[in-house]
């Protein structure tokens, strides 16, 4: 079971000069066993309860919390953990999220998670019931409170030692080595993504907590300035590479994160300086790169959708090329178009090789629905050569993906824990698979967790709302805890799904796209 946690490519994590990467314990790779039982699954329904799925997708983040848990914690099987993170370096790095089924806190995917959670609320928060919008904002804040600390402090954790254990986060006792990104050891991708996260989050809190929103925006500006001033990828430095690779290596370069950070600062601040940055540096930083991927390591498709909003709404006509790039991405998702297409499984799921495929399903569905929203406010459509596509088509395409995830698939099972009658029982997640500290207060040491890992029994603590990596290209899912590529949940699978489900709650009629 390797940590390579649900990413289409290995996985990376490194923070910037003041963006720490906190690598915490417990992962997996070293345990060779496998086994598991056939999975239980949830039969798909003709019309899903998107409101129920939305509530659960947000609740999931409470099960991933690191640090001292708040009084209102709803995932009650969890306890306080990693409260002294950063202490060895004399800094406070408590908080944030464990990124997947281990007890690791990598800054890069956490920042992307925060960006997507915030974008979900900014774009579709009005479709959420007040209580769910409040929970979603809490989920954003849990990440941004931590990310604000990382702007001024180094990161911690030795992933290689940490990944040798199968233990609860509450029991962690592995060494917390400090890693620091600086002007001499830059990490523009982590700094740029952190800038995007803080800027997007500032919009979430603008009305309810304006002081916090201003603090977030100021932090975003500092993070972006560092990313742009000291350009470079963290994985190019041997020492930093040792702390981040192969877990979250930089496969696509840092240039997209610079544009992404600038785009979010532009949207949050309306500052023309960031618009100028995008227009003056877009070509140099690869804005014209053709890609049909969007995730923690590649922001191009999301960047094009985000930036095209101002052109679509008739505000900045000089951004037309971003609309054209976004159209090109959308056309790869439309089977009827003459463009080269993304791959779909026989059952209809978007599929990309590499494992943890649901991250592509949720992130691409989010872009489809966001673009549908932008198009619905204008007379624009997407020209895919032999076919013209409007917002209703994009909405239906995304709905099919969500319905597949929730149970309309060849396995007749939901890939969200707790949704429907049948769903995976043996997910690759330490806290979920080990007895809760509430029911078993005695410490379970590093190697003492191995029997639980190799057991064919169901996890004792259902991680409600978690979405696993999902089936392979043949639509098959074996419910095997050891098969982390399929059975491990991640925060960056769920983050865009929050917005997708909120959109569907607000647009229950498949034939109607609300403006």
In CATH, what number is assigned to the domain containing residue 299? 1.50.10.10
Q: How high is the pLDDT of residue 177?
A: 64
- Model confidence at 512: pLDDT above 60: no
Residue 381: strand, helix, or coil: coil
Q: How confident is the model at residue 162 (pLDDT cuts 50, 70, 90)?
A: low
Residue 35 has, within 13 A of its CA and on its CB side, a CA count of 12
Where does residue 209 rank: exposed (0-12), middle (13-18), buried (19+ CB within 10 A)? Answer: middle
In-domain check, residue 167: yes
Tokens of 213: 């929103």
In-domain check, residue 8: no
Q: How confident is the model at residue 157 (pLDDT cuts 50, 70, 90)?
A: low
β-partners of residue 453 are none
3-class SS letters over 238-254: HHHHHHHCCCCCCCCCC
Quote the CA–CA distance of 364 and 493 in Å, as a whole number: 11
Phi, psi torsion values for 205, nearest 5 degrees: -105, 5
Q: How high is the pLDDT of residue 87?
A: 87
Tokens of 391: 């917002």
Q: How confident is the model at residue 291 (pLDDT cuts 50, 70, 90)?
A: confident
- Model confidence at 430: pLDDT above 60: yes
Residue 173 annotated to the active site: no
In-domain check, residue 20: no
* Secondary-structure breakdown of the chain: helix, strand, coil percentages, each rounded to the nearest 5: 45, 5, 50
Q: Which of 293, 428, 429, 478 is catalytic?
A: 428
Q: How high is the pLDDT of residue 99?
A: 93
Print the domain residue range for 456.
50-131+142-180+285-506
In-domain check, residue 243: no
Higher pLDDT, 8 or 376: 376
Where does residue 280 rank: exposed (0-12), middle (13-18), buried (19+ CB within 10 A)? Answer: exposed
In-domain check, residue 16: no
In-domain check, residue 194: no
- Model confidence at 467: pLDDT above 60: yes
Residue 300 annotated to the active site: no
In-domain check, residue 212: no
Q: Which of 237, 479, 480, 483 is catalytic?
A: 479
In-domain check, residue 161: yes
Q: How high is the pLDDT of residue 153?
A: 53
End-to-end CA distance of the chain: 45
Cα dihedral across residues 275, 281, 282, 286: positive or negative: negative
pLDDT tens-digit profile of 198-212?
999 999 999 999 999
Residue 488 annotated to the active site: yes
**Mean predicted lDDT score pLDDT of the chain:** 86
Number of domains in the chain: 1
pLDDT tens-digit profile of 57-100?
999 999 999 999 999 999 999 999 999 998 888 889 999 999 99
pTM: 0.90
């Amino acid at each position: 079971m390797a940590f390579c946690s649900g990413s289409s490519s290995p996985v990376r994590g490194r923070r910037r000069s003041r963006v720490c990467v906190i690598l915490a314990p417990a992962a997996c790779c070293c345990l060779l066993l496998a086994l598991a039982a056939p999975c239980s699954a949830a039969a798909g329904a003709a019309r899903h309860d998107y409101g129920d799925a939305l509530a659960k997708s947000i609740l999931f983040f409470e099960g991933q919390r690191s640090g001292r848990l708040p009084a209102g914690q709803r995932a009650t099987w969890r306890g306080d953990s990693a409260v002294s993170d950063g202490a060895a370096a004399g800094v406070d790095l408590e908080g944030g999220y464990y990124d997947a089924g281990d007890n690791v806190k990598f800054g890069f995917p956490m920042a992307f998670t925060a960006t997507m959670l915030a974008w979900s609320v900014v774009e579709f928060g009005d479709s959420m019931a007040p209580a769910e919008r409040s929970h979603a904002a809490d989920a954003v804040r849990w990440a941004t409170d931590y990310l604000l600390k990382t702007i001024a402090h180094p990161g911690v954790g030795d992933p290689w030692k940490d990944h040798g254990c199968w233990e609860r986060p509450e029991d962690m006792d592995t060494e917390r080595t400090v890693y620091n990104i600086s002007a001499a050891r830059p990490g523009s991708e982590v700094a740029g993504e952190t800038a995007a996260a803080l800027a997007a989050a500032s919009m979430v809190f603008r009305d309810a907590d304006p002081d916090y929103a201003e603090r977030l925006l100021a932090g975003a500006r500092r993070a972006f300035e560092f990313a742009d001033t000291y350009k470079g990828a963290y994985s190019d430095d041997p020492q930093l590479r040792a702390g981040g690779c192969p877990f979250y290596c930089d496969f696509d370069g840092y240039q997209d994160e610079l544009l992404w950070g600038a785009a979010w600062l532009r949207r949050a601040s309306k500052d023309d300086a960031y618009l100028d940055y995008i227009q003056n540096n877009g070509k140099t930083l690869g804005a014209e790169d053709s890609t049909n991927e969007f995730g923690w390591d590649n922001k191009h498709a999301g960047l094009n959708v985000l930036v095209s909003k101002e052109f679509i709404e008739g505000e900045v006509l000089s951004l037309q090329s971003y609309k054209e790039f976004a159209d090109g991405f959308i056309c790869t998702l439309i089977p009827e178009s003459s463009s080269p297409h993304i791959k779909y499984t026989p059952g209809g799921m978007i599929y990309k090789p590499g494992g943890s495929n649901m991250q592509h399903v949720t992130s691409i569905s989010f872009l489809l629905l966001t673009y549908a929203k932008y198009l619905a406010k204008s007379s624009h459509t997407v020209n895919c050569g032999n076919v013209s596509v409007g917002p209703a088509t994009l909405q239906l395409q995304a709905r099919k993906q969500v319905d597949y995830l929730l149970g309309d698939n060849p396995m007749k099972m939901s890939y969200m824990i707790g949704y429907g009658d049948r769903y995976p029982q043996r997910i690759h997640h330490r806290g979920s698979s080990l007895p809760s500290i509430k029911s078993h207060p005695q410490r379970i040491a590093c190697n003492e967790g191995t029997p639980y890992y190799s057991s064919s029994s169901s996890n004792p603590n259902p991680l409600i709302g978690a979405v696993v990596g999902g089936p392979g290209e043949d639509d098959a899912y074996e419910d095997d805890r050891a098969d982390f590529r399929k059975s491990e949940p991640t925060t960056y699978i769920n983050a865009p799904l929050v917005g997708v489900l909120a959109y569907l709650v607000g647009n229950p009629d498949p034939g109607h796209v609300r403006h």
